[in-house]
Amino acid sequence: MQVDESPVSAFRRIGILGTGLIGGSLLLALRRLLPDAELLAGAPSPRTREAVRASGAASRVFDPAAEPPAEALAGCDLGILAAPPEAVCRDLPALKGAPIGLLVDVASVKGSVMAAARGLGNFVGGHPMAGTEGVGFGAADPDLFRGAAFLYCVPPDYASGEDRIDELLALLRALGMRPFAMDAAAHDRRLALVSHLPHAAAFALALAAARAGDPVLAQLVGGGFRDTTRIAASSPALWTDILRASPELPSALGAFADALAQIRSALDPAAPPDALRALLAEAETYRRGIPEGLHAVPHA
């Protein structure tokens, strides 16, 4: 694939704060795309720092507790905050005035993050629509972002020039992503339905089975339960942070509860014979309309 080297090569020094599944996958993908770039990686865990060093993907690995991010990321063309929403909100104010070309985060909640970034001037909110139930740098995959949407929010006080955003979008596309611009409120409303609610539902399904007190159940699991609850194997710590920070999740849970209530009502012997089928058909039509294979799309 021919890549436009001009905008991509604008990023010669990139710092990533957080090297879990998303941050680690970005690190590996960036190293493959930009073999000569200086890549800095911050990880709070000694074990993770050792794993990152062993991978050879980072030019330098640092401990954010010992080296403040504003100092560690100084001089970077791009700084990526790849931590849970609460940590991103905590770190952003300390980066105000730091000599960093562009700052972007990858948290799945944007309202609180954009509020914490007020006054920075060089920040763009971001969220790659990619992930697995894997946890930590050991689950990182440089191909994780192929075909994935990347949602980005440009704040009203952004002041670092459109050319920097254009360079960021070129980099995202070179990594195989499809950028979509939207405001923080729209992001959080949509993500509550297509990301946060599915995780909450998967955790609830696994919880219901766990509380049934039937030791035989786990031996009977087939594809339906396995596929539907796959993401319930995700990090409880991470998803506690995300779900608590999701402002629209209560509304999404309400819509889900309403749908479940409709299905339950349709099971009543007194309900019209076609009531349940109509509900299932409505759901089937929507599901079949969702594009498949997005993560298998080759670089364009």
Contacts of residue 218, defined as CB under 8 A and 6 or more positions apart, other chains included, come to: 209
**Cα–Cα distances in Å, from 164 out to 41, 151, 177, 200?**
22, 16, 17, 36
The predicted-structure confidence for 102-135, as pLDDT tens digits, reads as follows: 999 999 999 999 999 999 999 999 999 998 788 8
Percent of the chain residues past pLDDT 70, beyond the cut: 94
Per-residue pLDDT tens digits for 72-103: 999 999 999 999 999 999 999 999 999 999 99
- Tokens coding 238: 């991470």
Main-chain dihedrals φ then ψ at residue 55, nearest 5 degrees = -70, -25
Q: Which contiguous run of DSSP H or E holds residue 234? A: none
Q: How confident is the model at residue 3 (pLDDT cuts 50, 70, 90)?
A: very low
Question: Which run of H or E residues covers position 291?
Answer: none
- Helix (H) or strand (E) holding 125, with range, is strand 123-128
Q: For the chain, what is the mean pLDDT?
A: 91
CA angle 28, 230, 299 (to 5 degrees): 35
Instruction: Give the rounded distance of the alpha carbon of 141 from its chain centre.
Output: 14
Output the pLDDT for position 141.
94
* Contacting residues for 264 by C-beta, under 8 A, at least 6 apart: none
Amino acid 135: pLDDT: 83
* Cα of 19 vs its chain's centroid, Å: 13
Contacts of 21 (CB under 8 A, 6+ apart): 131, 132, 134, 135, 136, 137, 139, 140, 144
pLDDT of residue 293: 53
User: What is the pLDDT, as a whole number, of residue 4?
Assistant: 45
Q: What is the pLDDT of residue 192?
A: 97
Domains (ranges, CATH) in the chain? 10-183 (3.40.50.720), 188-296 (1.10.3660.10)
Render pLDDT for 223-281 as a digit per residue (tens, 0 to 9): 999 999 999 999 999 999 999 999 999 999 999 999 999 999 999 999 998 999 999 99
Residue 66 has pLDDT above 50, yes or no: yes
Q: What's the CA gap between 90 and 83, in Å, rounded?
A: 10
Q: What mean pLDDT do residues 4-8 have?
A: 55
pTM: 0.86
Burial environment of residue 232 by CB neighbours within 10 A (0 to 12, 13 to 18, 19 or more)? buried
Q: In this predicted structure, what is the pLDDT of residue 134? A: 82
Q: 3 vs 179, which has greater pLDDT?
A: 179
Rounded to an integer, what distance in angstroms lies between the CA atom of residue 63 and that of residue 66?
5
Of 29, 17, 298, give the one whose Cα is nearest residue 171.
Answer: 29
Give the start-end residues of each E strand in 77-122. 78-81, 102-105
